[in-house]
Amino acid sequence: MNTQQTSQTNNELISTNQHEIIKSFFQTDSANEMIESLHFMAESLLFNEDLKYISSETRVHLVNQLRVASLVAKLDENRCKC
């Protein structure tokens, strides 16, 4: 096996391994749980007093967008699977 083939095989193994790590990560929590975690982290960051360059209007807008995403995820989680 030459160096190029070895490199390609290693890249394929790494890619497969990364795919499995990402797949298992997203199977751990539901979409709703991930969005709620994101919402909490973003809201905590946005309302930190150290971020003077983000206007309060922008902060509220971003939090409202996250709330919409949370609502959509909850609606999807509770939809009728008829």
pLDDT in tens, 15-44: 888 888 877 877 777 777 777 788 788 878
Residue given tokens 């909490």 in the structure block: 40
pTM of the predicted protein model:
0.48
Q: Give the Cα separation of 29 and 52 in Å (integer).
A: 33
Q: Give the Cα separation of 47 and 63 in Å (integer).
A: 10
pLDDT digits (tens, 9 = 90+) for 48-76: 777 777 788 888 888 888 888 888 878 87
